[in-house]
Amino acid sequence: MSRKLEKLYRRIQKLTGNIKSSEVSDVFTDIFSESTHFLNKFNRSDLASKIPNKKYFVFDTGRKISRAINADIYLPAIGDWLALVHAIHNNDRPRLSSEKINRAIYCLAISFCAAIDLTKSGDQKTPGTFFEYLIGHLFSARLGINPRTNLPVLNLDMNTTLPTDYVFDLGPNQAKFHLPIKTSTRERVIQVWAHQRVLDGVYGTGRFWGTPVILAETKTDSRKREVIEICLPEQWRIYQMHIAQLKRIYYLDVPAAYARLNEVFPPLCVKPFGDFFGEVDILISPLS
Amino acid sequence: MSRKLEKLYRRIQKLTGNIKSSEVSDVFTDIFSESTHFLNKFNRSDLASKIPNKKYFVFDTGRKISRAINADIYLPAIGDWLALVHAIHNNDRPRLSSEKINRAIYCLAISFCAAIDLTKSGDQKTPGTFFEYLIGHLFSARLGINPRTNLPVLNLDMNTTLPTDYVFDLGPNQAKFHLPIKTSTRERVIQVWAHQRVLDGVYGTGRFWGTPVILAETKTDSRKREVIEICLPEQWRIYQMHIAQLKRIYYLDVPAAYARLNEVFPPLCVKPFGDFFGEVDILISPLS
């Protein structure tokens, strides 16, 4: 990646101890402008989209292409991002629509990932970790508390700690959140339900809301210049019935096949992540 | 890998439709002799073992090293292998000790994997698939039926199939087996319990015995020439209590930290895979 982008990424890594801070927002703001600036040097090529009603393109260096980018969501507006983080840190309800919030976060996330795609080979880790920081930051800034990544387990003759994804504990009689964060899930998604099941088992069902946040489920065939979405909706329904119940599944780019799960049994609420900022106060209430 | 080994591997792939057949055993016999013959061209170097009471070495081409091999189990005896498959196909109880059976299977598995390590770069898939074929073959030959890899789900308004690891259905009122096969598990192991939970939920608890078979949990530091075992015993206990109950966890090279789980709550039976051939008749009985 560009030297500047690398430096900014390192800066985020150093600040993760207080990931909710407005200082972290400021670094993300710089990453937003630097990534989109970097990508503007390259051509955009349209992909043949096999997904009904969704258009995708890639940034193209001539030698390498980025991951697929949703053309309807990728409209970088740094002003919306600034309005979002300003509202969050001032405990205001953001005045932006859920759609604009979602778009701003998508643009920031996908532009950084695309910049990595164009400059590094086979680096899955940096985009994944970056995305985890970004969503972890927004979630914790909105809730006003930092996450933890392990929980004590006291169970008669056991006394140990359970490593977890980010979890947020708002205190007695308040909601607790279980926040897995992934750039895509594929067949590994069963882990999210399994971790939720463990939390339900150890701390009681309903104690933690499982609210995974996922970037997208696109897969690009770089030879054919085609994009598809890899979705396993029937398996999700089985997991939601038989492993544990997730409260929300947020996407920045909601896959068509998962959006339809909102209409069938079992209840499985798949939404754009932009919706979170408006509905979190309802989710927090213990009887939601 | 050597041309001959590659050809034999392809041959197995073609025979997977009837994986229990004695023809498959014959190809594995050839792979056993070819892999060990191939490895004999190279030097052995001892590793510094950080695992109490276990000694490991690697095959070393000078430029590349193989995965860690347990020096106490790696004593290739093709006669034991031949006696095992002969007994299996003739419905005899093998007259070999469980230890000799385990050793023969370990030698075949690890020698093929080591040959791949020395001849290919970063190929995790071939060893994994090979190991799946080998264990799938032995399991199905012993039970006398071929596995399937999906199950129908009928659930009021759902009618779909669930993709699974190998599952074996011995018929009405007989045991059914759920057989995940991995060369190592690390943090992905939660998937095994989660799949068991789904089977319990869809078909009823106790309908499928979960009996995963795993090669080893070693990790080699090739620079320091050190070997460790990566184990998460406390997490396994939590999974066994809160996700689902596995009947057996078989290893070819049983990790020290998991062997100790046999002595604590919850019941978690970790054994050498060699034991399976003697105890399967007990497992099959519906009240076992």
Tens-digit pLDDT profile for residues A135-192: 999 999 999 999 999 998 877 777 788 888 999 999 988 889 999 999 999 888 999 9
> Is A234–B163 a contact, with Cβ atoms under 8 angstroms apart?
no
**Residue B8 has which token pair?**
């034999």
Whether residue A266 has a cis bond before it, omega within 30° of 0: yes
Report the alpha-carbon distance of residue B11 to residue B191 in Å, rounded.
30
pLDDT in tens, B25-71: 999 999 999 999 999 999 999 999 999 999 999 999 999 999 999 99
Give the gap in angstroms from C-alpha A283 to the nearest C-alpha of chain B: 25
Whether residue B266 has a cis bond before it, omega within 30° of 0: yes
Give the gap in angstroms from C-alpha B38 to the nearest C-alpha of chain A: 32
Range picked from A47-56, B182-191, B278-287 for highest mean pLDDT: A47-56
pLDDT in tens, B223-250: 999 999 999 999 999 999 999 999 999 9
Q: Which residues of A touch B241 (CB under 8 A)?
A: 155, 201
Please tell me the predicted confidence (pLDDT) of residue B121: 85
Among chain A, residues having any CB pair with chain B shorter than 8 Å are 153, 155, 157-158, 160, 162-163, 188, 190-191, 193-195, 197-198, 200-202, 234-235, 237-239, 241-243, 264-265
A–B: how many Cβ contacts below 8 A?
A: 76
Of the candidates B108, B99, B132, the one whose C-alpha atom is nearest the C-alpha of residue B214 is B132
Q: CA-nearest residue of chain A to B199?
A: A242
pLDDT in tens, A17-39: 999 999 999 999 999 999 999 99
ipTM of the predicted structure? 0.88
A197 → closest Cβ in B160, B191, B243:
B243
**Residue A173 has which token pair?**
């009689």
* Confidence check: pLDDT of B286 > 70: no
- Give DSSP secondary structure letters for B108-123: HHHHHHHHHHHHSSS-
A193 → closest Cβ in B155, B194, B239:
B194
Q: Which residues of B touch A155 (CB under 8 A)?
A: 241
Q: Which residues of A touch B200 (CB under 8 A)?
A: 242
> Is A202–B238 a contact, with Cβ atoms under 8 angstroms apart?
yes
> Is B238–A195 a contact, with Cβ atoms under 8 angstroms apart?
no
> Is B241–A193 a contact, with Cβ atoms under 8 angstroms apart?
no
* Confidence check: pLDDT of B131 > 80: yes
Give the gap in angstroms from C-alpha B21 to the nearest C-alpha of chain A: 31
* Beta-strand pair B249-251/B213-214: parallel
Q: Which residues of B touch A265 (CB under 8 A)?
A: 157-158
Q: Which residues of A touch B234 (CB under 8 A)?
A: 158, 160
Burial of B249 by CB count in 10 Å (0-12 exposed, 13-18 middle, 19+ buried)?
buried
Taking residues B1-10, report their average pLDDT: 90
Please tell me the predicted confidence (pLDDT) of residue A147: 97
- Give DSSP secondary structure letters for A271-284: EEGGGHHHHHHHHH
Cβ(A80)–Cβ(A101) below 8 Å: yes
* Confidence check: pLDDT of B258 > 80: yes
| Domain with residues A143-283, CATH architecture | 3-Layer(aba) Sandwich (3.40)
Please tell me the predicted confidence (pLDDT) of residue B162: 85
**Chain B contact probe: residue of A241, A246, A260, A268 with most B CBs at under 10 A:** A241
Please tell me the predicted confidence (pLDDT) of residue B288: 66
Please tell me the predicted confidence (pLDDT) of residue B88: 95
CA quadruple A254, A259, A262, A268: dihedral positive or negative?
negative
> Is B191–A194 a contact, with Cβ atoms under 8 angstroms apart?
yes
* Confidence check: pLDDT of B154 > 90: no
Q: Which residues of B touch A150 (CB under 8 A)?
A: none
Q: Which residues of A touch B193 (CB under 8 A)?
A: 194
Question: Which parts of chain A sit beneath pLDDT 50?
Answer: none
Taking residues B193-199, report their average pLDDT: 95
Taking residues B273-288, report their average pLDDT: 88
Strands (DSSP E) along chain B, which ranges? 43-46, 48-49, 56-60, 69-70, 148-155, 158-169, 176-179, 181-182, 208-210, 213-214, 218-221, 226-229, 249-251, 270-272
**Residue B49 has which token pair?**
């073992």
Q: CA-nearest residue of chain B to A202?
A: B242
Percent of chain B with pLDDT over 90: 83
Helix (H) or strand (E) run with residue A130 in it: helix A125-143
Q: Which residues of A touch B158 (CB under 8 A)?
A: 234, 237, 265
Q: Is A170 helix (H, G, I), strand (E, B) or coil?
A: coil
Of the candidates B37, B106, B40, the one whose C-alpha atom is nearest the C-alpha of residue B71 is B106
Q: CA-nearest residue of chain B to A198?
A: B242
Report the alpha-carbon distance of residue A34 to residue A117 in Å, rounded.
15
Give the gap in angstroms from C-alpha B91 to the nearest C-alpha of chain A: 38
> Is B201–A242 a contact, with Cβ atoms under 8 angstroms apart?
yes
Please tell me the predicted confidence (pLDDT) of residue A1: 65
Of the candidates B211, B218, B220, B203, the one whose C-alpha atom is nearest the C-alpha of residue B246 is B211
> Is B241–A155 a contact, with Cβ atoms under 8 angstroms apart?
yes
> Is A242–B162 a contact, with Cβ atoms under 8 angstroms apart?
no
**Residue A209 has which token pair?**
């809301």
Cα torsion for B153, B155, B160, B163, to the nearest 10°? -40
> Is A241–B194 a contact, with Cβ atoms under 8 angstroms apart?
no
Longest dimension (CA), chain B: 61
